[in-house]
Structure 1
Amino acid sequence: MPTRLLPPPGPARLLTVITVVMSLGQGLWMAVNAIFAVTMVHLTPGQLGVSVGISAALVLLSSTPLGHLADRVGPRTVQLWSFLALAPLTAALLFVGGFWGYLVATSAQGLAYRAGNNARKAMIVALVPPGDRARTMAGIRAWINVSVAVGACLSGLVIAWGTRVGFQGAILFTAAAFLGTGLLTLKEAPVPPTPAGAISAFGVLRDVPFLLFTAVDGLLITHTLLLDVVLPLWVIHHTHAPRWMSAVILLINTGFVVAFQTRASRGTDDLKSAARASMQGAGCVAAACVVFGLSRGSALATACALLVVGALLHALGEIRQAAGSWTIAFDLARDDAQGQYQGTYKMGGDIGKMFAPALFAWLILDHGGTGWIVLAVAYALLGVAMPAVVSRGARLKGAPQEPAAAGG
């Protein structure tokens, strides 16, 4: 791991290293899971879909209480035991032989992973100064992209091999990565828990401004699904570009995030600038939608050029919007309930992922350029709404919208 790409020594560096180890295993498992379930556990596609849906619903409903658990017990404790538990829960898939066993194992996996993820966000707030959080998250996100890409490459080897031994090796590798994540957590500084009675397990659900931000941001980040779900089918059925252009778009996105996410986080250290960054990101995504729509029916070279330009605009919008959302999610939350608030914040993206694929397919694949325009307008409006939503939340919380002036 190149030292020059890591934060300076301290809590931020350790948080980054832990995330790299965690995402390496997660990246591999996400890429092989579906094929493992169908070919080795012998689930039907319908059973796999039902299992994924039930697991996702359980994680969604448990996200806020699991975040509250991190506040009450202490985020380091929850992160430690969540990932230590993930190791045997993942290894248990070696012995799963049917729908119910797979459902129980993957649901338990999902709950443990969400608990650990919520706690990790609370650790960032506790250990990293406010002015450094966006930069820390940017570095973490860049390394996540690298780790997931490596995991995806490893998954390609596993899938190409196609044997039970290969899938068993992938499961054990993932379990080892989660075990390593848990053990590395022991090196982090402990964070004291929130005193009993300071906030109820569902106190965040009464924080209307934070919930409004969660909803708007959850709708905004559905744009990440465009590259995975819609564009591959758009390229095949609505453009003259070669099929492999969808892979080129994904490579552009991954490379752009790795190269520029940290730079994109600069100037997002307060709520006002973070809301502006989120709005700018939404504008770039809206522009990307328009450019993608123009590729329909264009000549091969023109279609390829438009898809590349759209991919660059989308990647710029993604990294700028993400940089803004981190600061907002941290600073609008209560300091003594970061686990609960970050768990609830994750629900916005979860809900968006539940309806967005079908809606996007209907809009874009069935309505072509018109669908892209509708989507562009929707993202632009969400971006414009973000500063007002954040400003209202900051006023009600009494949080500073800009950094305090130095001197005096």
Structure 2
Amino acid sequence: MPHLLPEPGPQRTIAASNFVYTLGSGLYLTAGVLYFTEAVRLPAAQVGLGLGIAGILALAAGIAAGHLADRRGARGVYAATLVVQALATAGFLLADGFGPFVAAVCAATAAKGAGLAARSPLIRHHGGERPQEFRGYLRAVTNIGISLGAVLAGCAVQDGTQNAYRLLVIGNALAFAASAAIVLLLPAVAPEPAADGPCRTALRDRPYLALTVLDGIMAIQFKVLTVAVPLWIVAATDAPPWLISGTMLLNTVLVVTCQVRAGRSIDSPAAGALAYRRSGAAFLAACVLISLSAGIPAGAAAALLLAAVAVHTLGELWHAAAGFEISFALAPRHATGQYLGVFGLGAGLAEAVGPALLISLCITWGRPGWYVVGALFAVAGLAAPPAVAWAGRRGSAGRPRPRDAAEPATAAATA
């Protein structure tokens, strides 16, 4: 990245808030489940059920919060979601049974989804001429914050005491509260003049919904490296178990160093459509390489898996950049929060169904399952250019026709 930090001003403030937030997220993502199973003593099956319920119930929160941010101003709404998330996370300390656990985790998960949508108008307003590129920068910051949070969480896991896990939860809640305080340093963003329209405008935009579904299918790829590959390394290969950390480290380094660069050339809906297609092909190739790592010597398996992770991460960079471009470019400015809330439904569904789907196909079924998953990604990528062309032809009552969305086929011919 040409600059480690944006220039002083709103972009740096948003980046600082995002860093503090993801530092807390890294604490929870690494050891949150262990807190409930080891400190609260809930059965793992109940924890999984509660997280699934929370994920499903939180899907609509993004649309509502995004619409509210469009109408009332994004800064206050986004800060409010962070405060709710901080309070709900602190509520984990009082969750002494399944019912309180579900209530707290539902509130925290809903606030997280709402915050992602409410933040979108801020990114669009303060992101300069290319808010999509700034969004890519924030993704790199996210990976740094989560990685550092994971290191801190490892200390709590190593200690293994209830007090250590409680300190982890307190640190998580404080990070969210600090993130909210930093957000309030931003100048207020006035609502767009036309933001008082119905909250279901984005849900009536069928081309945008189709792209949301396709992006949701592609978003299952985020669980490949965190769910499927670790289980595959342990259960199906002779590669050393420490390679699980090695694959995550390789992925993190590549995302941090390459995400902004990968998104620079993806500067139109047509380019985003082609990036989806390329990412689908990369995911297919990575799935094939992963499947071939079973039944071969440990050194060869490790080398093949690292190569697969590099190819997968290349697809991840293209997929993320394509999603940033498509979701912003096809959303009307006055309804950015609402549209980005709808676009987040795809990732939310992937979060809910991705782990079970990957485990059943790739781990339980084995090598053929990897081919099926790879083919699913490739087909979704191939479907993106026609969907973007459809969005360009139809537009919507509240969304102007993008200047180049109807030309992906021409761009493909010259790419």
Shift of 1:366: 3.3
For residue 333 of structure 2, the aligned residue among 309, 332, 335 is: 335
Q: Please say which of residues 41-50 and 312-321 is displaced more in the overlay.
A: 41-50
Residues 39-86 of structure 1 show CA distances to partners (whole Å, capped at 9, x for unaligned) of: 222222222122212211210133322221222221111012222233
For residue 181 of structure 1, the aligned residue among 179, 182, 185 is: 179
Partner of 2:390: 392
Letter in 2 for 1:326: F
For residue 210 of structure 2, the aligned residue among 209, 212, 216 is: 212
Partner of 2:267: 269
Does the CA-based 8 Å contact 2:59-2:110 persist in structure 1? Answer: no
Partner of 2:411: none
Does the CA-based 8 Å contact 2:88-2:104 persist in structure 1? Answer: yes
Shift of 1:321: 1.2
Partner of 2:47: 48
Letter in 2 for 1:234: W
Shift of 1:197: 7.4
1:159 aligned counterpart, secondary structure: helix
Q: Please say which of residues 378-387 and 204-213 is displaced more in the overlay.
A: 378-387
| Identity rate, percent | 32
Distance in 1 (CA, whole Å) between partners of 2:268 and 2:209 is: 19
2:264 aligned counterpart, secondary structure: coil
1:326 equivalenced with 2:312 (yes/no): no
Distance in 1 (CA, whole Å) between partners of 2:143 and 2:120 is: 18
1:120 equivalenced with 2:119 (yes/no): yes
Q: Please say which of residues 84-93 and 314-323 is displaced more in the overlay.
A: 84-93
Does the CA-based 8 Å contact 2:137-2:259 persist in structure 1? Answer: yes
Letter in 2 for 1:63: G
Q: Please say which of residues 220-229 and 81-90 is displaced more in the overlay.
A: 81-90
Partner of 1:248: 246
Shift of 1:12: 2.3
- Using a 3 Å threshold, how does the CA distance of structure 1 residues 301 and 50 change in structure 2: closer, same or farther? closer
Distance in 1 (CA, whole Å) between partners of 2:292 and 2:198 is: 50
Does the CA-based 8 Å contact 1:38-1:44 persist in structure 2? Answer: yes
Partner of 1:18: 17
Partner of 1:383: 381
Distance in 1 (CA, whole Å) between partners of 2:2 and 2:262 is: 20
1:297 equivalenced with 2:300 (yes/no): no
- Using a 3 Å threshold, how does the CA distance of structure 1 residues 106 and 263 change in structure 2: closer, same or farther? same
Shift of 1:196: 7.8
Q: What's the TM-score once normalised by structure 1's chain length? A: 0.93
Partner of 1:405: none
Partner of 1:406: none
Residues 101-138 of structure 1 show CA distances to partners (whole Å, capped at 9, x for unaligned) of: 22222211222222222111221112223x42222112
Letter in 1 for 2:62: S
Residues 230-285 of structure 1 show CA distances to partners (whole Å, capped at 9, x for unaligned) of: 11121122222122222211111111111111111111121111221222122211
Does the CA-based 8 Å contact 2:27-2:152 persist in structure 1? Answer: yes
Partner of 1:28: 27
- Using a 3 Å threshold, how does the CA distance of structure 1 residues 264 and 107 change in structure 2: closer, same or farther? same
Unpaired runs of 5+ in structure 1?
Answer: 403-408
Aligned residues: CA RMSD: 1.9
Does the CA-based 8 Å contact 2:136-2:324 persist in structure 1? Answer: no
